[in-house]
Amino acid sequence: MFSVITSNQEQTWRIGEMLGARLDAGDTVCLYGDLGAGKTSLSYGIAQGLDVETKYITSPTFAFVNEYQGRVPFYHIDLYRLKDAEELENIGFEQYLDSDGVTVVEWAERGEDEIPQECLSIYLSYVDEHSREIGFLAEGERYEKLLDDLKRTLETQTVEGTPGSPRISSF
């Protein structure tokens, strides 16, 4: 596990983009964090890394799921308004997991019983008006390798197009 502290929204986007470039069909990314912590900003970056054409990625709070086409399909799920497990069934939650695309789940704790054991969990927290801490936890060998690669890249490169560099901590 490691975490990164970003100093602006663009860094959050770029880290998401770096992550998205490493994701592939069947991958599940679970996002945790309070309102305003940066889950949708990170999702936007992931979409860019998946070569999603649209410039406007929105949180699917009211629709539960937004689908985008990119290098592989991008399924953006938001469980904030989830009332019960039956609603997960109604939106076809299980079919998105381990599918032909990358599934990103905001408010993943609300569907915890249905989340695959192997996934990438990301914890976002508010540091100040501009800064966020992004904690990465790999659950499964595939995600461990993916995070090792992402961490090495972050340690050796500045986040392109943004002032300053994110601060990385390992634990």
Query: The domain spanning residue 76 has which CATH number?
Result: 3.40.50.300
Average pLDDT, rounded, for the chain = 86
Q: What are the two backbone dihedrals, phi and then psi, of residue 93, each rounded to the nearest 5 degrees?
A: -50, -50
Q: What is the pLDDT of residues 59-76, one digit of tens each?
A: 655 568 889 999 999 999
Q: What is the pLDDT of residues 96-128, one digit of tens each?
A: 887 899 999 999 998 888 889 999 999 999 999
For residue 121, the enclosing domain spans 2-132+143-170
Is 138 inside a domain boundary? Answer: no
pLDDT band at 80 (very low <50, low <70, confident <90, very high): confident
Is 77 inside a domain boundary? Answer: yes
- Predicted TM-score (pTM) of the model is 0.87
Tally of domains in the chain: 1
Residue 69 is classified by DSSP as -
CB 48 within 8 A of CB 15: no
Q: Is the dihedral of CA 78, 51, 134, 115 positive or negative?
A: positive
- 3-state secondary structure (DSSP) of residue 3: strand
Is 58 inside a domain boundary? Answer: yes
The predicted structure's pLDDT at residue 171:
46
